[in-house]
């Protein structure tokens, strides 16, 4: 659940200890190579997190749920996230007014996540769109056109891709603010009902 330079799933412990979790050993190895050694990284499929109930004040997940297209598996992941969370839970997911997507990625309506979290004892607090549609699609086109199709998980992008993406960021960032979408990455915040 590592994407580029950011964790897709990470947890913050009460003593301000950062803990990350991922299913992929390649991503764990990459994270351990790139991050300070005091950040604990655990290999898990997410359905049985090796932490106590209510162990974390903040639980954070980014684009993990949209890539779990099996609703039963997604519910197991969310149930575990809720189990280890004692306060605030943040998910960053691409949401859409209606269910859309394919076998690799589903954009679910905000109401889907709200209903699921409420059934697990968390109330919805807010939704903030990140507005990265142009940047997302531009980076995707560059990655697909300029990198080998057999590129392995965790393998770096080629230098031309990185240079081109970096050159376009100032332009796509401006366009992201202008071109908004109802199907975009959003931060959904939930709080545990005490």
Q: Which residues contact 39 (CB under 8 A, 6 or more apart)?
A: 18, 19, 20, 31
Tens digits of per-residue pLDDT, 155-170?
Answer: 788 999 999 999 999 9
Judge contact between 120 and 81, C-beta under 8 A: no
7 in a structural domain: yes
pTM beyond 0.85, yes or no: no
Domain containing residue 114: 2-131+182-192
Tens digits of per-residue pLDDT, 77-124?
Answer: 999 999 999 999 999 999 999 999 888 889 999 999 999 999 999 999
104 in a structural domain: yes
- What CATH number does the domain containing 127 carry? 3.40.50.150
Quick count: other Cβ atoms within 10 Å of Cβ 186?
Answer: 20
Q: How many domains would you assign to the chain? A: 1
141 in a structural domain: no
């Amino acid at each position: 659940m590592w994407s580029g330079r950011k964790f897709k799933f990470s947890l913050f412990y009460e003593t301000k200890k950062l803990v990350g979790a991922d299913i992929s050993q390649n991503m764990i190895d990459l994270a351990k190579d790139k991050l300070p050694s005091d950040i604990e990284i655990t290999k898990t499929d997410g359905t049985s997190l090796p932490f106590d109930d209510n162990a974390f004040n903040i639980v954070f997940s980014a684009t993990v749920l949209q890539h779990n297209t099996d609703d039963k598996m997604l519910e197991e992941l969310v149930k575990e996230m809720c189990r280890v969370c004692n306060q605030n839970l943040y998910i960053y997911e691409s949401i859409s007014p209606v269910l859309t997507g394919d076998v690799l990625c589903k954009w679910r309506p905000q109401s889907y996540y709200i209903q699921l979290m409420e059934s697990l004892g968390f109330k919805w607090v807010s939704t903030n769109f990140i507005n990265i549609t142009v940047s997302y699609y531009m980076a995707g086109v560059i990655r697909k056109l300029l990198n080998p199709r057999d590129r392995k998980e965790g393998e770096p992008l080629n230098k031309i891709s990185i240079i081109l993406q970096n050159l376009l960021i100032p332009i796509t960032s401006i366009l992201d603010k202008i071109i908004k979408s109802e199907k975009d990455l959003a931060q959904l915040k939930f709080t545990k009902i005490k």
